[in-house]
């Protein structure tokens, strides 16, 4: 079964982490004493030239996009001269990397690399522990290394209440065969990275590559890249200035979803979906996806009110060429009768003619059905979502 094309985002969107740009991550690293290159951020070629002039050529231009695999996708270039920089910068700033527009470039000094190391810390879902991963073979092929040379990678599962100490870092790195000065330098950076991970409540904090310089520079190591994803649920208590999450959502409909407090993913089809949970929404897509195409994924989570579903209708209806809407909600924690009032208020105020199918079960179901029927909604009172999708086919026909 093929996944339809379209923007690729996690269906549990509100739970998906806030990603920091590489330059934001490097600023954080610097604040935690991790050696980083001289650099600047430019949103125009003029600014890029000014920054490069201060750093001195050659410089590396790095497209700032929130997606992995940037290097292999052509988002990193070296400029030897101002002329070259002008040309590269102009083309990068007008480009897209894996479907994301490049708004900013980071201009940084070109490191004199002896070799590349890797360190990353992430949350392991199954064990529920932070896991520290290190390798002596960093760079773009690190996942390949994990498959082909597992002896060059090692990991350590931390006790989340205990934290991660320098002795543990040294023990871990000895397993990779590191010794002497490199071991102590690497361990020092690793412990600092763990502090970033803990204090920013990160789901991932990664340096790839951490380069070993040919010439000694701030002790011989340099973090030339950063990946940080911060847990959305912790944003309000992180005691450091953080960028505004909503602002970095590119798609305007998805941004509006975030603003009203629901997970909205924009898709290519023409059937609107409103569901009261991520799992139910995904199942609805699975069932629709056999024969029709979803226009969006929307899930409310446990926060349904009359106002919220009114706004959800508004959001789903913003999509042009919609053919029908399917509403799939359960009354467990959600007062679905209140939600139904919001939907019907929207229908009446905007004289919506589009076919709308609603399956609603659970607490207050009878009241909910009555309200929906009053608004001309096709109500399904049986549990299988398949029944609701069948009704949808009857109403709109297949493609």
List the x/- string, 25-54, binding to other proteins by CB under 8 A. Answer: ------------------------------
CA neighbor of 9 nearest in space, from 227, 255, 313: 255
Map the footprint of other proteins across residues 165-184, applying CB under 8 A: none
Contact region for other proteins (CB under 8 A) — 4-12, 56-64, 104-112, 212-220? Answer: 4-12
DSSP assigned state of 398 = -
Q: Binding of other proteins at residue 330 (CB under 8 A)?
A: yes
Interface stretch with other proteins, choices 76-84, 241-249, 315-323, 357-365 (CB under 8 A): 357-365
Q: How many helices (H) and strands (E) does the chain have?
A: 12, 19
Q: Which of 255, 365, 367, 396 binds other proteins (CB under 8 A)?
A: 365
- Contact positions with other proteins (CB under 8 A) in 299-318: 301-302
CB-nearer residue toward other proteins: 288 or 392: 288
45/168 with CB nearer other proteins:
168
Q: Smallest distance from the beta carbon of 164 to other proteins, in angstroms?
A: 13
In sequence order, what DSSP letters do the residues of 243-256 get, joined into one string?
--TGGG--SHHHHH
| Interface pick for other proteins out of 93, 287, 295, 308 (rule CB under 8 A) | 287
Establish if 260 lies at the interface with other proteins (CB under 8 A): no
Binding segment for other proteins (CB under 8 A), chosen from 173-181, 240-248, 314-322, 325-333, is 325-333
Q: Which of 71, 243, 355, 362 binds other proteins (CB under 8 A)?
A: 362
234 is a site residue for other proteins (CB under 8 A) = yes
Q: How large is the greatest C-alpha to C-alpha distance in the chain, in angstroms?
A: 77
CB 336 within 8 A of CB 366: no
Query: Could you say which residues in the range 103-132 bind other proteins, by CB under 8 A?
Result: 118, 120-126, 128-131
**Contact (CB, 8 A) for 324 and 272:** yes
CA dihedral 125, 127, 128, 132 (to 10 degrees): -90
**Which of residues 56 and 268 has its CB atom nearest to other proteins in the complex?**
268
CA 13, CA 321: separation in Å to the nearest integer? 25
Query: For 170-192, b where at least 16 C-beta lie within 10 A, e where not — what string?
Result: bebbeebebeeebbebbbbbbbb
Tokens read off for 181 = 């000065």
Q: Return all residues near 11 (Cβ < 8 A) that are at least 6 apart.
A: 263, 265, 278, 281, 282, 297, 299
Rounded to whole angstroms, how far apart are CA atoms 363 and 369?
11
Contact 337, 364 (CB under 8 A): yes
CB closer to other proteins out of 45 and 334: 334
Is 239 a residue that touches other proteins (CB under 8 A)? no
Q: Which is nearer to other proteins, 49 or 146 (CB)?
A: 146
């Amino acid at each position: 079964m093929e996944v339809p094309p379209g923007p690729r985002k996690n269906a549990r969107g509100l739970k998906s982490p806030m990603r920091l740009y590489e330059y934001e991550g490097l600023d954080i690293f610097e604040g935690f004493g991790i050696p980083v290159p001289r650099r600047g951020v430019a949103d125009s070629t003029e600014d890029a030239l000014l920054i490069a002039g201060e750093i001195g050529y050659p410089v590396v231009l790095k497209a700032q996009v929130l997606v992995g695999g940037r290097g292999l996708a052509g988002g990193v270039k070296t400029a030897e001269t101002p002329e070259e920089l002008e040309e590269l910068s102009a083309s990068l700033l007008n480009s897209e990397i894996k479907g994301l527009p490049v708004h900013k470039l980071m201009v940084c000094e070109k490191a004199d690399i002896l070799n590349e190391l890797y360190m990353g810390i992430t949350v392991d879902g199954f064990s529920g522990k932070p896991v520290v991963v290190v390798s002596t073979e960093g760079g773009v092929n690190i996942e390949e290394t994990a498959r082909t040379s597992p002896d060059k990678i090692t990991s350590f599962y931390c006790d989340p209440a205990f934290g991660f100490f320098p002795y543990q870092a040294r023990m871990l790195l000895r397993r990779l065969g590191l010794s002497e000065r490199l071991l102590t330098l690497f361990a020092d950076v690793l412990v600092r990275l763990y502090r970033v991970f803990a204090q920013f409540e990160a789901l991932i904090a990664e340096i790839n590559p951490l380069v070993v310089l040919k010439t000694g520079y701030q002790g011989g190591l340099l973090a030339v890249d950063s990946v940080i994803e911060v847990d959305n649920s912790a944003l309000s208590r992180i005691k450091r200035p953080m960028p505004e999450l909503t602002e970095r959502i590119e798609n305007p409909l998805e941004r509006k979803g975030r603003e009203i407090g629901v997970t909205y993913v924009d898709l290519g089809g023409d059937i609107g979906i409103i569901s009261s949970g991520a799992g139910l929404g995904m199942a609805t897509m699975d069932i629709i996806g056999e024969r029709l195409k979803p226009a969006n994924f929307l899930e409310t989570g446990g926060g349904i009110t009359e106002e919220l579903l009114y706004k959800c209708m508004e959001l789903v209806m913003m999509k042009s060429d919609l053919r029908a809407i399917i509403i799939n909600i359960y009354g467990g924690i959600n007062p679905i009768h209140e939600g139904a009032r919001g939907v019907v208020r929207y229908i009446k105020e905007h004289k919506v003619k589009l076919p709308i199918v609603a399956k609603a079960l659970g607490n207050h179901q009878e009241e909910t059905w009555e309200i929906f029927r009053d608004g001309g909604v096709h109500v399904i009172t049986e549990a299988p979502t398949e029944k609701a999708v069948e009704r949808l086919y009857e109403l709109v026909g297949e493609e």
